[in-house]
């Protein structure tokens, strides 16, 4: 069974690489965030529209394990699945190099919701994410 509920294909741009010719570590966080935002769009919700409604999902913690570096021009697949723990939504995100399906990054992203300035349970996300949630390990 495929555990992933969403995947996005991207390509490394030259300016994302450092002097060593590999993607700078900070850019992986951008890839992960972009994947979460695109997942929201695929589910019918815009991150920007949520903000105008006073609903702000924010990262509370992120853990990234770097496995294999990407280089300029590499295509990669960013995948995710989702679990709920208390008021947190936890995104499990993995990036694979497209050419050989080699694992590049493994990340766990804890997100919480701030509604009108208060940390709280989000009915919007509870409803939106219900079909996507994984409860098993």
Q: In the block, which residue shows the tokens 């709920």?
A: 84
Give which of 128, 123, 129, 55 is closest to 91, Cα–Cα: 129
Could you confirm whether 100 is annotated as catalytic? Answer: no
pTM of the full predicted structure? 0.92
Secondary structure (DSSP) of 67-126: -S--BTT-EEEEEEEEEEETTEEEEEEEEEETTT--EEEEEEEEEEEEETTEEE--HHHH
Per-residue pLDDT of the chain (137 residues; tens, 9 = 90+): 589 999 999 999 999 999 999 999 999 999 999 999 999 999 999 989 999 999 999 999 999 999 999 999 999 999 999 999 999 999 999 999 999 999 999 999 999 999 999 999 888 889 989 998 866 65
Annotated active-site residue in 18, 74, 110, 137 = 18
Q: State how far the Cα of 3 lies from the Cα of 10, in Å rounded to an integer.
A: 20
């Amino acid at each position: 069974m495929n555990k992933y509920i969403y995947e996005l294909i991207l390509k490394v741009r030259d300016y994302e690489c450092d002097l060593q010719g590999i993607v700078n570590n900070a850019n992986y966080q951008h890839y992960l965030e972009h994947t979460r935002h695109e997942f929201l769009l695929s589910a019918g919700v815009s991150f920007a529209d949520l903000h105008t409604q006073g609903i702000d999902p924010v990262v509370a913690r992120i853990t990234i394990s770097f496995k294999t570096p990407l280089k300029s021009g590499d295509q990669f697949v960013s995948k995710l699945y989702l679990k709920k723990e208390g008021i947190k939504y936890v995104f499990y995100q993995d990036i694979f190099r497209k050419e050989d399906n080699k694992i590049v990054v493994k990340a766990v992203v804890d997100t919480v919701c701030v509604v009108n300035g208060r940390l709280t349970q989000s009915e919007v996300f509870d409803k939106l994410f219900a079909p996507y949630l994984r409860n098993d390990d």
